[in-house]
Structure formats: C-alpha cells, structure tokens
Amino acid sequence: LGLKVGGEDSPIIAIYASGVNEVTTWSQRLREHGLLVPAIRPPTVPADGCLLRVSLNTSHTAADFAALVDALR
C-alpha cells in the first residue's frame, strides 16, 4: 500500500501518518470497519511521529489481517 511501517518483528506494528488529521481519519475509518486501531498523536509522540498502533495477537486470523489491509486502501 506504500505506507511507512515499523515494528515488523513485534506484535505491535506502527503505521506512520503525515500528521494528526491523517492519523485520526485513518483510525476513525478503521473503527467504521469494526477495527479498533488507536491513533497515537502528540504529545505521546513528536509532531512528526503520528501513527496507528496495530496490536496483533494469536486470536487474529488471516481474514482479520486482510480486513485491516482492505480498510486501509
């Protein structure tokens, strides 16, 4: 999808946004798709470090991950 991500070796994946407006829009859109993916924004992170915090666990299925990717398109 061309998104900047981090934490590939962790159950917590960061998907970086360009700013507060973008990350909050993404988080709301994901919630509308039934996915709880919090927007992390200042002051928790620097102004240029806004991100979605995707927390994966063993109860997530391949279909759950596909739904996330589809909702991010």
Would you say 52 and 40 are in contact if contact means Cβ atoms under 8 Å apart?
Answer: yes
pTM of the model: 0.86
Q: State yes or no: pLDDT of 41 exceeds 90.
A: yes
Q: Cα 3 to the chain's mean position, in Å? A: 10
Average pLDDT of the chain is 93
Q: What is the pLDDT of residues 25-35, one digit of tens each?
A: 999 999 999 99
Q: State yes or no: pLDDT of 7 exceeds 90.
A: no
User: Residues 46-62: what's their mean pLDDT?
Assistant: 93
64 φ/ψ sector (left φ>0, alpha ψ -120 to 50, else beta):
alpha
